[in-house]
Amino acid sequence: MAGGKNMKKSVSTNPLLALKAIGQHIWLDNLSRTLLREGGLQRLINEDGVDGVTSNPAIFEKAIANGTYYREDLERLRSAGLDAEACYESLVIADIRAACAMLLPAFRESRGEVGYVSLEVSPALANDADATVVAARRLYRQVGCDNVLIKVPATDSGIEAFFRLTVEGISVNVTLIFSLEQYEAVLQSYLLGAMRWLESGGQARHLRSVASIFLSRVDTAVDTFLTDLGTLHAARLCGRTGIALAKCCHGRYREVFQGPDFALLRLAGIRPQTPLWASTGSKNPAYSDLIYVEPLIGLGSINTMPETTLAAFRNHGLAADTLQEGLEDARHHIQALLALGIDLNRVGESLQLDGVRSFAEAYRHILQGLTAPEDPVLHEHPGGARLTPSA
């Protein structure tokens, strides 16, 4: 990987590099042309060991609205008569390709373990398996990079699409996982899909998958229920659910991928599907800014962080192998919630619906802004170009 010598020299002084020494991979939960063209992403790769990037419609909505580097391409695409969705895909695919190129050394050095960039299918397709498969195939071909992960949600239709894409050998990041029940469905679909891929003659090492488990949103929802109960016992459970969910998911990951259920696939060279900690920026100012990082460090995991969380860990993070600690406590925590009437599987269903709705809204906002040239949607402001919905 580029900057490898500097990484070896700095591992004792940069906690982010110490995470890699423990075996955890750090991905950036952001992508924009500003990061690509002004060297921000390359610095994170070279100096902090970042070896992956995740994106979603909300990230691209912000990037396009606040970045100056999209104007020329946007005007060209509009002049070509492309509709809003085609304009959007052209803009973001260019960014995805550029990020894939920057991460290609990590991809090659790790033999396809890391170095990936995630691109999400339209969230409007979250409940349409057939349309998701068609869109995923098209985006995969259009990006044309081996180190792209196509992102689909862990809805019922999304999991069906994920299975079908895995059978075809397309590498997928399954997103919007908020419960153990959702994680189990994703995990089982990967096992079956990977087996079918092998049976069809597919190459084992070509296949890669991650399961994105969202954490801070779980705490936000559960803490609201606990606070409403108004008891000391409930108060003591606040701020612990996201971590408990992650530890239980990783415990299940170890049971499956280190056990007999995966034995044949392991012998054939199929990689485990790696849990990825997402939504790792603290949303409660009363909690540590590293609440979803320090307790979840360990081999067989990825943490995708926004830039503020990366900077916080670089500044004052403690790198220690903590992921396998406290699994029984995590299970007891979930049982304690259930005893209070808080079922995390039901909470997860609600959060997933909200997540799909939020991404779909961001996607609609982007498309509303990418209208015909005569519409007054692109305005200068001090930070660059702003996209606003047309009247």
Element (H, E) at 1: none
- Catalytic-labelled residue, pool 5, 62, 151, 247: 151
Query: Cβ(389)–Cβ(377) under 8 Å?
Result: yes
Cα–Cα dist 280/52, whole Å: 15
Task: Give me the amino acid identity at 143.
Answer: V
For residue 377, the number of C-alpha atoms closer than 13 Å in the C-beta half-sphere is 23
Are the C-beta atoms of residues 345 and 46 closer than 8 Å to each other?
no
Query: Dihedral sign, CA of 68, 142, 183, 267?
Result: negative
Q: Phi and psi (nearest 5°) for 32?
A: -160, 165
Is-catalytic flag, 151? yes
**Which residues partner with 384 through β-bridges?**
381
What is the β-pairing status of strands 148-153 and 172-177? parallel
Alpha carbon 240 to its chain centroid, in Å, reads: 21
Number of CB atoms found within 10 A of residue 291's CB: 23
Tell me the sheet residues that pair with 211: 174, 275
The token pair at 277 is 């900690």
Tell me which residues are annotated as active site. Answer: 151
